[in-house]
Structures are given as structure tokens and as C-alpha cells.
Amino acid sequence: MDPTTYPPPPGQTRRYAPPTRSGTVRFRIPSTNDIAETSYSIWGNLSSKKVPLICVHGGPGIPHDYLLPISLISTDYTIPVVMYDQVGCGRSTHFSPHQYHPSFFTIDLFLAELDNLIRCLGITVYDLFGHSWGGMLISSYALTQPAGLRKLILCSTPSSMKTFVQVGAELRSFLPLEIQASLSDPLSPEHATAAMELHRRHLCRVEPFFPEELMTSLHSLAENDTVHHAMNGGPSTPASVDINGSLKDWSVVSELGLVTEKTVPGGVLLINGYFDSAQDACVLPWFSKTKARVKWVQFALSSSMPHLEETDRFVGVVGRFLTTHS
């Protein structure tokens, strides 16, 4: 697979509105009782009769800026959209690497934060969107069978970290040998260039430069990679296929039969790109094992960021799914 032989995606073709309101909610960390703050932004009106879409960013530790074009769903479909930065990144409370042991950063921490945000915003019925790690998080959240969950959208989301690592190694094997060698040596002067080549193939194919929203999120990660390092392990870059942090054994494959029309009554939408780091093998268990209604859409020109690579089609696909009555 050589994405460089295919045409680039159209990218984002129109601007989006600023949030209707932004703020923070207090979050008491269950394991320590420390008080943190979760920063959020809302497009539209939560008091309307429309079911809100809560968007959960990836990383871990990559703030929501790169998801901002998804707010066009509020513009086009008058659906309230909520985005937030998970604690440890963006505009939410940050942690220094010496403040907590790496074992502090578990999926349970971020499940509790999501639950707290929903409760503090007074949301009773909602749809969830998760990108990459955010999709992993809402997968685990859905398995808790929370009250009020209607529809689930998983974008570029693996069903198990083991499969994701295997797919990543396979994608790297298609790279030129000199790039593979540089990727394997973080101390190599060519490592950064090699990593960018991998990212341009399987992270975001927009040319000639990454979108501003993505660069903002990546710069934030570079400034504080505490959460990313603790949960993924190794360098704070998608070029790494070695996961040795707290997510290394994460999987929902054996539990997907618990996702039913009762627990996710509105159904599940699966999204990935043809050149995605979450290739079909990562997504297939969700499609084949879940007992809820499920739809799978692949974006032919996209890698891991279809909302940035094929924005207009993405907004249409998601908007139609959200507005289709169950």
C-alpha cells in the first residue's frame, strides 16, 4: 500500500463557527480525591430538543482542537455538539510527570471524567463520538451500559491494542527501507523526517501542510506528553508501534456481544479511512461481533483524519446517521 500514488483528499473546504459557550467543570479524581478541571466547549443549545453529540478526542493527551470541523454538524443539522479536553492536556488541568505515578493514568480515570462531564452539563440523553483513543474510551464506556446513551460513533478506532500494533508494523513494512531504519532509531538525525513521512501516509493526507487544527493539537502534545507517555509508553509520536504503557493489553473484542440494541438503541457507526492506521482488521470485530445495529463507512481518500481530509462528506455521513430515527 503506497498512499503517495493516490490523489490527495480535498481537505476542509469551509470554516466553522466559534463555540456558543465554553467553560470548565470540577472533577474529583476518584483514586486521589484531588480536584481537577475539565475544559469544554459547546456549539448549539443543550436545552433544545435535539440529542447532543459528545466528541471524545484521541491521543491519549491530544486536545480536541483537531476535531473542531466536526462542529459543522451543529451548523448543518442544528445538533448540539460538545467537545472537551481530557485532564492532562489542552485547557484542562495538567499533570507533571513527577506528580503522579504512571499507573495513575488508567482508562478508569477518563471513564470517570466523561461520566462527570455528562452529569455536570445536565445531559440525560446523548450520542457519543470517539476518535482513535477517544473511540477506545467510549467503547469501554458503552460496555458499562450507561443510562442515556443512544448512538455510538467510532472513528479510526481499534478494537484491541494488540491488533493495532500488528497492523502498524505491517504498514511500516511498506515504507522504503531507509525510512524504516530511521523510524527504528529515535536517535537518528533522520528520525523526525521519517516519522513525518509515515504521518503523511497514515495520519493525515492533506497536502501540502497538515491543517492548523491538527498542528495545534500536536504542538500541545509536544509541550506536555505526560498522559500519552504513561498510557502508550515510549515516544509521544504516532510513529511508534510499540505500546508498553497502561493501554498495552486493552481490548473489547471478547465483550462486544454485550453491545446490543438495548444498550446502544440508536446503533453504531464505524468509520475508517482506506489508508488508516486503524485498518479494517482493527474495525472488523466491532462489525462482526456486536449485537446492536451497525453501519461501517470507509473514506477512500483518507487516512486517520477523515474529518480533516474529507470534511464535507464526513459531516454528511455523521449528520445523516445522527438524524436517522432508530
**Domain boundaries along the sequence of the chain:** 1-325
The whole-number average pLDDT for the span 227-235 is 82
Residue 136 has pLDDT above 60, yes or no: yes
Alpha carbon distance 117, 120 (integer Å): 5
Q: Report whether 193 contacts 182 (CB < 8 A).
A: yes
More confident residue, 208 or 236: 208
Residue count of the chain: 326
* 17-72 residue pLDDT tens: 999 999 999 999 998 899 999 999 999 999 998 999 999 999 999 999 999 999 99
The torsion of the CA quartet 230, 236, 241, 246, rounded to 10 degrees, works out to 10
326 band by pLDDT with thresholds 50, 70 and 90 = low
Entry pTM: 0.95
* 146-184 residue pLDDT tens: 999 999 999 999 999 999 999 999 999 999 998 888 888
Residue 235 has pLDDT above 70, yes or no: no
Q: Report whether 9 contacts 205 (CB < 8 A).
A: yes
The whole-number average pLDDT for the span 128-132 is 98
**Cα 310 versus chain centre, distance:** 16
Candidate CATH numbers 3.90.1150.10, 3.40.50.970, 3.40.309.10, 3.40.50.1820; the one for domain 1-325 = 3.40.50.1820
List Cα–Cα distances, 33 to 27, 30, 36, in angstroms: 9, 6, 9
